[in-house]
Chain A
Amino acid sequence: MIFKVAWRNIWRSRIRSIIVLSSIAIGIWAGLVIIGFSFGMNNERTSAAIGATLGHSQAHHRAFIEDPQPNAMLSEAIIKELETTLDAQNFVTGYAKRTVLQGMVASPKKTRATRIIGVNAEAERKVTTIPNYMVEGDFFESKTRKGVVISEKLAQKMGLSMRKKLVLTFQDHRGIIHKATFRVSGMYRTLNSAWDELNLYVQQDDIEKIVGGSLIHEVLISYDKSEDTEQKTKAIVSQIKEPTVITSWKENSPELGFADDMMGIMLVLVLGIIMLALLFGIINNMLMAVLERRRELGMLMAVGMNKRKVFLMILLETLMLGFVAGPTGIVLGDVTVRAMMRIGLDLSTKKDGLAELGVGSVIYPEIVPEYYLIIAIMVVTTALIAALFPAYKALKLNPVTAIRGN
């Protein structure tokens, strides 16, 4: 019957209870929507970066990690051993060998430092999504000799356009400086404008012809799924010998990995702030409920309701608020996030700013089931904490003065 009394007590002040229940539900709803969009934005940014530029992991010579000089190459024997290892992993869906050179790019108007990535277009297409980001031309499909794919942003900065010539200057593994003319055969635009500004793609064959041999500095590895990449990378690392070093996308892009790791902490903090606000709302509501019922609580203690049961009753009332509002907020949040997953949140007006962050202009939220549990636990904990002070006030009532209504 204490449950019945607690439940009916909630509805004694219907409007007040509805306001408190609504505030809890709206708080949870807001929390879930924020979580959905934050994860959506972060995952889009992460998967775009992994797909277009980073891969799930990369293999380099240890010397290249320490100083990316042209002579820090992966030898043929190392590559063969690496290929054998990668072929044996059922989660590895592909890999692409790359030449990576620091150099200069010059147009008739400007000269800039650049990073020249020599690719085998066919292998690259299997591993990266760069071809999906082409805005003009193609990603070496037309087999143009000495073609170069630059970003739209670099083209603007260098005053270049399709079919225009540019000159690449770079040093090879022997220290010989080469200067070669390339023609713009394609332009890309990824979600990462910083990447776009620095990197350009040429065909590996063209580099080999210029330097007179194969130069492999990097192997980009792609996995079947983006989950558990750290464990998968560790599985490869355990089978690879020095001097080859395998690094996961989090290591290759620490800021992206940090953002991914911090996301969970930040969201729990946001939820914590929401719960803190709710905490005071619930305390206020329950304190009013206790003070309004002083006479009744005094009577209950007078007739023999012990302090433990009085405490339990106040606790139950508070928990019931959480148990009604919690699931309501979760359902509302879930429905909203699911609806927004179809529509997306169009932030075209902030397109440039979002591009700087590596995010598209339409953000699609994601359902993160584990946060439902976290929210449920936080709501119950908040309700429990919120119950303590009102319950303490109830226990401190003197039956004689409470019954008199003083």
Chain B
Amino acid sequence: MSKAVIEVKGLHKIYEGAVPVKAVNGIDLVISEGEFTALKGPSGCGKTTLLNLLGGLDQPNSGSIIIDDTDITGLSDNELIDFRLHHIGFVFQAYNLIPVLSATENVSFIMLLQNRSKDERMERAHQLLEAVGLAGKEDKRPGELSGGQQQRVAVARALASKPKFVLADEPTANLDSESTSKLLEIMLQLNKQENMTFIFATHDNRVIAKAKRVVGISDGRIVSDTSK
């Protein structure tokens, strides 16, 4: 049996306001190494909140999230930033690349934050860009790339730090069908070749169709969990 990468127990997240919203309402979840998991559900069901909690971007009201034997709910802001840098890769819906840097520089920037040597950064950035099908586009800036290509740079960037897993929030929402299938192929290949764990928050059926495990979420609770 594969080793658990993430263990979530009794997770609650309530957004306070005039009417408190229980975005995550008692979730227990275990994600194992090498999984290709989709968190599906309608808008506002809590999947993005869950993803943010798993990524240490948001703090839960109660519950625990154990990653690599560390309960990240007990970490300070600075410890969380450092933890994210070394353990978690992120792919965002809007790519969020640094517009003034080339594709190579965008990928290697994360490794710079990890204080890796220039040679190592360059070598891995080239490898990753080749792996996502962007060989020859290394020197292009985000503005010179299509949406699909930018998202592939974002995937390469997410993998650059050699994370334990990659969290992807609606990564295909801004992509056309061709770019979506190409991106999914690349991620599946990386999942297979490098045993990289991917967790998606999505309501895109094309992603759900490719996922090996689909976790259904509604009103902040897990309502289904199926593996293929």
Contact = CB atoms under 8 A, between A and B. Distances in A.
Contact of B81 (A5, A306, A400): A306
Interface stretch (A38-46, A89-97, A121-129, A294-302): A294-302
B113 A5 contact: no
B57 interface: yes
Contact of A306 (B52, B78, B89, B108): B78
Contact of B96 (A2, A4, A296, A309): A296
A307 interface: yes
Interface stretch (B60-68, B98-106, B144-152, B197-205): B98-106
B92 to A, nearest CB: 6
B161 interface: yes
Q: Interface of chain A, helix or strand or loop or mixed?
A: helix
A9 interface: yes
Contact of A8 (B57, B100, B157): B100
B81 A1 contact: no
Interface in A291-318: 295-296, 298-307, 309
A1 B109 contact: yes
A304 B82 contact: yes
B96 A400 contact: no
Interface in A7-41: 8-9, 11-12
B86 interface: yes
A245 interface: no
Interface string B55-86: 10110000000000000000001100110111
B94 interface: yes
B94 A295 contact: yes
A341 interface: no
Interface string A372-403: 00000000000000000000000000011001
B100 A302 contact: no
Contacts of B112: 1-2
A11 B89 CA distance: 29
Contacts of B165: none
Given A399-B57, A400-B52, A400-B57, A5 B101 contact: yes
Interface in B103-157: 105, 108-110, 112-114, 157
B36 interface: no
Contacts of A400: 52, 57-58
Contacts of A307: 77-78, 81
A403 B92 contact: yes
A8 B84 contact: no
Contact of A305 (B81, B96, B158): B81
A299 B57 CA distance: 10
Most chain B beta-carbon contacts within 10 A, residue among A12, A303, A403: A303
A5 B84 contact: no
B96 A304 contact: no
What is the interface residue range for chain A against chain B?
A: 20 to 34
A254 to B, nearest CB: 59
A1 B105 contact: yes
A187 B158 CA distance: 89
A303 B110 contact: yes
A322 to B, nearest CB: 20
Nearest to A309: B113
A303 B84 contact: yes
A302 B57 contact: yes
Contacts of B108: 1
Given A1-B112, A307-B81, A302 B90 contact: yes
A113 B109 CA distance: 84
Most chain A beta-carbon contacts within 10 A, residue among B58, B78, B98, B157: B98
Nearest to B108: A1
Given A1-B105, A1-B112, A295-B94, A304 B99 contact: no
Nearest to A306: B81
A12 B99 contact: yes
B100 A304 contact: no
Contact of B85 (A1, A4, A12, A304): A304
Interface of B: 52, 55, 57-58, 77-78, 81-82, 84-86, 89-90, 92, 94, 96, 98-101, 105, 108-110, 112-114, 157-158, 161
